[in-house]
Amino acid sequence: MPHLHDEKIKFLEGKANDVRQSIIEMLLAAGSGHTAGPLGMADIFTLFYFHILKHDPKNPEWAERDRLILSNGHICPVLYAAMAHAGYFPVEELKTLRKFKSRLQGHPHREWLPALETSSGPLGSGLSQGVGMALADRMDNGKASSKFFYVFMGDGELDCGQIWEAAMLAGKEKLHNIIGIIDRNNIQIDGFTEDIMPMEPLKDKWESFGWHVLEIDGHNFEAINDAVGQAQAVFEKPSVIIAHTIPGKGVDFTERRFEWHGNPPGLGPEDVVKKAQQGAAALEELRTLGGRIKSEHE
């Protein structure tokens, strides 16, 4: 995995902030959608689309590309935003999110936007899809190819039993080019994960299914990059990266609050910011990096 120098990290930080602003803008235009997960995963998606993935936005069907499978499809605003900023389609199209006949549905639809690898919506199926792709790739080539299959999952999604069936098969088949990334943000739609269905010790669970496990700060570009590099170097088993993230990252009044899991600005809790002001307040905070730079309106 190529080293991240200081200038590249600075570029990625700026790009992640652009992605977060796009997420807010598209949610506002849609009037519905999920806020917390997309904002929390913006750093990881930015690093993947601008540094890690082997892909070509001008040729999305390139056979040798890596595969990125989004299992928890409700966080697709961050996927769409990262793809648009990477050049897959115009950034202006993001504001068609959830609109009738838009290519950018509220959950990814493979047939409407060919650059997507899978359709997702029902939780729990992404790892099975990724395992199937990796097995088919092995069958087609007689051995595992050089491409990687990255499966993004939510921690609340791990309540689904199908995840663990797929994890068991991947461990049995020693699918070393499967790399899971778990958004460990500790929230789901009804509350905190440890209150609804406790997951810990999560690392031990994955190891018991035959996976190599790494735990990282999901907002540290160097840590994410190093973990992916380590996972790519493991040849005897699949790997999973447990990325600890802050839901709603970048907007103070949405951070760490499960109430923002499924609400867009304008429909979220208004104990801090009134509904009518939430969109503008979120964009102002992102554009000024929490007040560290001057607002364009000053």
Q: Taking the domains of the chain in order of start, what are their residue ranges?
A: 6-287
| Nearest-angstrom CA–CA distance, 56 and 281 | 35
pLDDT at residue 293 in the model: 65
Residues ≥6 apart with Cβ < 8 Å to 28: 264, 265, 266, 279
Q: How do strand 187-188 and strand 191-192 relate by DSSP bridges?
A: antiparallel
The distance in angstroms from the start CA to the end CA of the chain is 42
Instruction: Locate 30 and state its tokens.
Output: 């849609």
Residue 240: which H helix or E strand, with range? strand 239-244
**Mean pLDDT, consecutive 10-residue segments, the chain of 298 residues?**
91 98 98 98 98 97 96 98 98 97 95 92 95 95 86 97 98 97 96 96 98 98 98 97 98 97 96 97 92 56
* Number of residues assigned to the chain: 298
pLDDT at residue 114 in the model: 83
| Nearest-angstrom CA–CA distance, 291 and 129 | 43
CA angle, corner 223, sides to 219 and 226, nearest 5?
140
Residue 136: which H helix or E strand, with range? helix 126-141
What are φ and ψ of residue 263, in 5° steps? -110, 140
CATH class of 6-287: alpha beta
Instruction: Locate 148 and state its tokens.
Output: 């990687």
Q: Is the CB of residue 252 less than 8 Å from the CB of residue 193? A: no
User: Within a 13 Å sphere around the CA of 102, how many CA atoms are in the beta-carbon half?
Assistant: 19
pLDDT at residue 298 in the model: 46
